[in-house]
Amino acid sequence: MFFWFVCYLVVVWLISASDESCPELPSVENGIIVIKEVEGQILGTCLCIKGYHLVGEKTLFCNASVEWNAPVPTCHLGHCPDPVLVNGEPSSLGPVNVSDKITFKCNEDYILKGSNWSQCLDDHTWMPPLPVCKSRDCGPPGSPAHGYFEGRDFNSGSTITYHCEDKYHLVGTRNQQCVDGEWSSALPICELIQEAPKPIPQTAFEKALFAFQENKELCKAIENFVQRLKENDLTMEELKYSLEKKKAELEAKMLSWHCN
Ligand SMILES: *[C@@H]1O[C@H](CO)[C@@H](O)[C@H](O)[C@H]1NC(C)=O
Ligand SMILES: *[C@@H]1O[C@H](CO)[C@@H](O)[C@H](O)[C@H]1NC(C)=O
Ligand SMILES: *[C@@H]1O[C@H](CO)[C@@H](O)[C@H](O)[C@H]1NC(C)=O
């Protein structure tokens, strides 16, 4: 004769003050559900026996709506969940026993991220956590605001070059390479180029000159300029000196235009 050892232990505490009660939970093969009341809420915690692991929600609760918040979990053969490694291969596919150690290998063109081994612990978990196999190729890189990249190949070993729009300059790494699934540097940024501030007029004369340059209408500009000179008692000496300085832009204009 062959006997399955099945534990059908369900402990139920009902809320005595409540008219309504939570529906009784079905028993769990190879596990138990421990039910207790915590702050007016009924909690059910499912535990699997050695050699089995839980699939589903470990803890259920039943509240005023008098329903369990999730379906009853089940206990499956294998002390820890069967190891899964997408694009790779664990040394055992399960079921596993407690304290079993397994190792991992990734397929070609994939790189292992995490530990290349793991052990099934008493509490049904894998430690270190299961690794993942990541492609050696990179995804399309991002572009910084006001910038873009040049390059069409994002495979392992390929390079791209970042550029910024006009009036922006690049801060960071311009040329980047795809190395084991990741771009070699962080995304650069495109910074606005700060234009040199306009010189602030100093003397009354410079103010007059500045006003002249800012004026779009030449005749008005000259009129205004002469007016300002008079107002400030500026001498021709000063004017001469400044005309030397601003010859190209000022004198040329004054001579080549005729005012009515
Ligand atoms: C009771 O649980 C259900 C299911 O999770 C939820 O939708 C509902 O809001 C809960 N009610 C109270 C009173 O907590
Ligand atoms: C787990 O243990 C059982 C008996 O104790 C054994 O038959 C089985 O091969 C073990 N499984 C693994 C994956 O080692
Ligand atoms: C796991 O990685 C270590 C180094 O990190 C290495 O020495 C060992 O050979 C690897 N084991 C397997 C199974 O790949």
Provide the b/e sequence for 64-83 (b: ≥16 CB within 10 Å): eeeebeeebbbbbebbbbeb
* The CATH classification of domain 2-77, taken from the options 3.90.1720.10, 2.30.130.10, 3.40.50.740, 2.10.70.10: 2.10.70.10
- Residue with CA closest to ligand 3 atom 5: 116
What's the pLDDT tens digit per position in 89-101? Answer: 999 998 999 999 9
Tokens representing 210 are 């500045």
Lowest-confidence segment of 67-76, 175-184, 185-194, 241-250 by average pLDDT: 241-250
Instruction: Choose one of 91, 105, 112, 116 to mutate for the ligand 3 pocket test, by most ligand atoms within 8 angstroms of C-beta.
Output: 116
- State yes or no: cis peptide before 95, omega within 30 of 0: yes
- Residue with CA closest to ligand 3 atom 1: 116
Fold of the 147-192 domain: Complement Module; domain 1 (2.10.70)
- Residue with CA closest to ligand 2 atom 7: 97
What's the pLDDT tens digit per position in 25-78? Answer: 889 999 999 999 888 888 999 999 999 999 999 999 987 777 889 999 999 999
Annotated domain spans of the chain: 2-77, 79-135, 147-192, 202-240
**What DSSP assignment string belongs to 144-167?**
-TTEEEE-S--STT-EEEEEE-TT
Contact in structure between 117 and 102 (CB atoms under 8 Å): yes
Three-class DSSP category at 203 = coil
Q: Same fold for the domain at 79-135 and the one at 147-192?
A: yes
65 lines ligand 1 (CB under 6 A): yes
The hierarchical CATH code for the domain 79-135 is 2.10.70.10
Tell which atom from ligand 2 comes closest to the C-alpha of 100.
14
Three-class DSSP category at 259 = coil
* pLDDT reported for residue 133: 97
